[in-house]
Amino acid sequence: MLHPVTLLPLLIAPFVSPAVSADPIQVSIPSKPTSTHVVNSNFLGISYELSFLNEYFGNNTSSIPPTVINYLSTFRDRTGSLPVRMRIGGNSADDSTYVSSQTTVMEQFISNAADSDDQPVDYGPVLWDVLSKVSSDIGGAAYLIALSLRDPNSTDIPILAGDAVQKLGDTLDGFLLGNEPDLYTSHGNRPDLKNYTTAIYMNEFQGVLDSLKSTSAGNILDKHDIGGPSICCEWDLGALIHDGYTSSFGDVLKYIALQHYPQNNCDGTHQFEIPWYTQHPNTVNLAAWQNSGINLVLSNTGTNKQEVIMSEFNSVSCGGVPGLSNSFAVGSLWTVDYALQLASVGYSAAYIHTREQGVSYNLFDPPVGSAGAPDAWTTNTPFYGLLVTAEALRSPNGSIVVDLDVNGSKTNPNAGVSGYAIYDASNSTVLQVALFNYANVSSSAGSSTAFAIPSGVFSSGHTLTVKYLTGDSLAETKNVAWGGETFANVGNGKPTTANATWAPANSELECSKGCTINVPGPGMAVVFANGAPENKPSTTTSGSAGTSSGSNGAVKTAKNSAAITSINFIYCSTVVLSVILTAFLF
């Protein structure tokens, strides 16, 4: 994870909360995507800090907590035919020791190592057994495994790589060599060097690659699944590429990996509060970090072409900030907004980071106690971001994501909204539309913002489904729902129907002649052109349908377990404003 970084000053305009719109915000959706970059439904994955992995998965295959399998299965249900992406790494992976003879437990702390931001462990082959079983239990995982560059002469690295290849098989997506080497100087990881230059780095990178040519699994480089440079802060990717990084290693590189956080809390202080994350231009600018280097990678059309991934991110580095990182605004809404923004500018995957129990930006928290303790778990707001992003990107042919610049939101910090269109990569039809409402109000106020979808975006004869991601307020840390389901007050990792006014049910409408989507504040809506994706059967209660209207006046209703009464303002291009009162009954 990221240690102190010098950030460019960013303008933080006063947050303006849009009231209920007197007129709907016009949404312009291109008939064809303005990009050709394709992503998949498993775009957003999970990054685990190696040293605390046993808190989530126990210490051997017999102690894997059922709850973590429930969480990951719920996530896997939403990625369609594709596996859940998981990365095992962090500072601790770069500083830990692989002990091939350690065959009874997955990992154990090294004594007298007290830095929680870089806690080394001894770990062994049991890790691969645990990861293999997790993949089998949830229906598919794709793992990125860290290889240390702290000691480029370590003989443990080829042993680790050989064991991982043999035991993980097809679930191994690749290796990430090194972790934030651009901070090796400031962190004292090369004490004999005044400056750890990119030239020295590439020489060491080559040395470790050479050691991977002879492992128990053969020549690892033949698999072409190495990732790097995993820089976060000080180096420029474009300059590194011009210095020869991709030309030297392109034949073995699968991924160009980057790691980045908006700000850090490494010294106990941070710069930005919740309003920064609700201003869409900040998200746009954040995703443009290393843009010149990314464009160099994307412009490569040769046989040795790499994909760009964000191998670690979250809201605030060094463990986040309580009340900010776990807020609905940041953990849920911003996570989805940032993931879709990364997908729109050329990234092929992104991994949101999770650390030890109690860290504020975690996806979910295991109970306090020994590894794999059986008590109730806690779901945090970022986990909803995983589910929403996966469903928003569902497509049988891959998706192309376009930022719609709704209400000038790419440059206007006071827009209070944003939106994306998700196109089918094969036929360029609009599959989903994601609309954000960052209103700084309580959900009990019944505020909403109306977005006008023009005619012709969706074909006739199709019933749209709208699902809502909502929270009780921007600062809410618990009462959050997606598609009428919540993990609030649930300790087993299985969602339940949300019986609350802050959790609207799904709605349906016909939109071939245009329609208006009302997005509760604060919250977001995902409009599905072909109906909401069908998740795999599970033992959890399925989401319920709600009430909605299109511009042709078609209304569909369904029962909702929550007693909710709402007023939907329906706007039409040729019909005067009407108010429809809809009651959701038990």
Q: Is the pLDDT confidence value at 145 over 60?
A: yes
**Enclosing H/E stretch for 520:** strand 515-520
CATH of 39-392, one of 3.20.20.80, 3.40.50.800, 3.40.50.720, 3.40.309.10: 3.20.20.80
Which positions ≥6 away from 110 have C-beta within 8 Å? 96, 97, 120, 121, 122
DSSP secondary-structure letter at 143?
E
CB 103 within 8 A of CB 162: no
Chain centroid to CA 280: how far?
17
**Least trusted range by pLDDT, from 5-9, 406-410, 563-567:** 563-567
Confidence tier at 557 by pLDDT (50, 70, 90): very low
Cα 191 from Cα 144, distance rounded (Å): 29
Cα 227 from Cα 147, distance rounded (Å): 10
Q: Within the chain, how many helices (H) and strands (E) appear?
A: 13, 29
Give me the pLDDT at residue 581, please.
Answer: 31
The rounded radius of gyration (Å) of the Cα atoms in the chain is: 24
Which positions ≥6 away from 112 have C-beta within 8 Å? none
Q: Is the pLDDT confidence value at 190 over 90?
A: yes
Which positions ≥6 away from 85 have C-beta within 8 Å? 42, 44, 45, 46, 141, 142, 144, 173, 349, 351
Give me the pLDDT at residue 208, please.
Answer: 98
Give me the pLDDT at residue 560, please.
Answer: 36
Give me the pLDDT at residue 489, please.
Answer: 92
Give me the pLDDT at residue 536, please.
Answer: 67
pLDDT tens, position by position, 238-255: 999 999 999 999 999 999
Q: Largest Cα–Cα distance in the chain?
A: 75
Structure token pair of residue 416 = 């209070």
Distances from the Cα of 494 to the Cα of 71, 371, 379, angstroms:
7, 20, 10
Strand partners of residue 384: none
What is the model's pTM?
Answer: 0.88
Q: Which of 234, 81, 222 is nearest to 165 (CA)?
A: 222
**Least trusted range by pLDDT, from 89-103, 349-363, 540-554:** 540-554
What is the CB neighbour count within 10 angstroms for residue 529? 19
Helices (H), 59-197: 66-76, 91-95, 126-138, 156-168
Give me the pLDDT at residue 369, please.
Answer: 76
Structure token pair of residue 455 = 């005619």
Q: Is the pLDDT confidence value at 538 over 80?
A: no
Sorted by where each begins, the domain ranges of the chain are 39-392, 399-584
Which positions ≥6 away from 389 have C-beta within 8 Å? 43, 44, 335, 336, 339, 340
Distances from the Cα of 44 to the Cα of 40, 77, 457, angstroms:
9, 14, 26
Confidence tier at 412 by pLDDT (50, 70, 90): very high
Cα 144 from Cα 47, distance rounded (Å): 9
Torsion angle (degrees, nearest 10) of CA 328, 332, 338, 343: -160
**Least trusted range by pLDDT, from 365-369, 395-399, 480-484:** 365-369
DSSP secondary-structure letter at 329?
I
Q: Percent of the chain having pLDDT more than 70?
A: 85
Q: Is the pLDDT confidence value at 20 over 60?
A: no
**Least trusted range by pLDDT, from 358-367, 444-453, 495-504:** 444-453
Cα 9 from Cα 305, distance rounded (Å): 34
Give me the pLDDT at residue 362, please.
Answer: 98
HSE (side-chain half, CA atoms, 13 Å) at 169: 9
Give me the pLDDT at residue 8, please.
Answer: 37
CB 150 within 8 A of CB 50: no
**Least trusted range by pLDDT, from 103-107, 109-113, 269-273, 355-359:** 109-113
Cα 215 from Cα 338, distance rounded (Å): 39
Task: Give the mean pLDDT of 327-354.
Answer: 99
Give me the pLDDT at residue 365, please.
Answer: 96
Looking at per-residue confidence, does 83 or 558 come out higher? 83
83-114 exposure pattern, b = at least 16 Cβ within 10 A, e = fewer: bbbbbbbbbbbbbbbbbeebeebbbeeeeeee
**Enclosing H/E stretch for 98:** strand 97-98
Q: Percent of the chain having pLDDT more than 90?
A: 79
pLDDT tens, position by position, 110-126: 876 656 678 899 999 99
Region for residue 320 given its phi and psi (left: phi exceeds 0; alpha: psi -120 to 50; beta: otherwise)? left
Handedness of CA 316, 321, 322, 327 (dihedral sign): negative
CB 364 within 8 A of CB 71: yes
Q: Is the pLDDT confidence value at 108 over 90?
A: yes
Give me the pLDDT at residue 461, please.
Answer: 73
Give me the pLDDT at residue 392, please.
Answer: 98
Looking at per-residue confidence, does 124 or 369 come out higher? 124
What is the CB neighbour count within 10 angstroms for residue 166? 15
DSSP secondary-structure letter at 66?
H
What's the mean pLDDT when you consider all of the chain?
88
Task: Give the mean pLDDT of 219-243.
Answer: 97
Handedness of CA 381, 382, 385, 386 (dihedral sign): negative
Q: Is the pLDDT confidence value at 346 over 90?
A: yes
Exposed/middle/buried for residue 200 (C-beta within 10 Å: 0-12, 13-18, 19+): middle
Question: Would you call the peptide bond into 229 cis, given omega within 30 degrees of 0 as the criterion?
Answer: yes
**Least trusted range by pLDDT, from 133-147, 387-401, 425-439, 451-465:** 451-465
Place of tokens 């979808």: 453
Task: Give the mean pLDDT of 137-154.
Answer: 97
Helices (H), 215-268: 237-242, 245-249
CB 43 within 8 A of CB 339: yes
CB 50 within 8 A of CB 312: no
Place of tokens 């109690």: 358
Confidence tier at 552 by pLDDT (50, 70, 90): very low
Tell me the residue type at 434.
Answer: A
Torsion angle (degrees, nearest 10) of CA 231, 236, 238, 242: -100
DSSP secondary-structure letter at 402?
E
Task: Give the mean pLDDT of 548-567.
Answer: 33
Residue 92, SS3 per DSSP: helix
DSSP secondary-structure letter at 438?
-
Cα 471 from Cα 479, distance rounded (Å): 6
Task: Give the mean pLDDT of 299-306.
Answer: 91
